[in-house]
Amino acid sequence: MKQKDFDKLVDERLGFCKRTLQIKAGEYATDDRLHNFRRAALLQGCSPARALSGMWAKHIISILDIIDDIERGKAIDEAILSEKLTDNINYLLLLEAVILETAAMGVDAV
């Protein structure tokens, strides 16, 4: 892939990630972007980072399933691939926020 094509891919993906995060923010009733991870942590008796990692696992598995399908010669649905890649990138961004916020509070993040 040529550099300009790669740069375009990155710009488009990151723009899609940002739009998706903004849309998802509107779906939750709180201004606290990390509310679900804190609440899940309380429910599960673990850290918010650990709770997030559990939620993120299903997105990782989706990507692994897509890779398996490709290796079996199955055609991929580019819209589904795009959605799953965006989900994974966004979970990494959310994980960074959880870890940085936890570290700022002086508590172990994981």
Residue 33 lies in a domain: yes
- Domain range for 23 is 3-104
Q: Number of structural domains, the chain? A: 1
- Averaged pLDDT, 61-78: 96
Residue type, 65: D
Residue 76 lies in a domain: yes
Residue-level pLDDT at 15: 97
Residue-level pLDDT at 21: 93
Residue 109 lies in a domain: no
Question: What is the distance between the terminal CA atoms of the chain, rounded to a whole angstrom?
Answer: 37
Residue 44 lies in a domain: yes
Residue 10 lies in a domain: yes
Residue 13 lies in a domain: yes
Choose between 31 and 96: higher pLDDT: 96
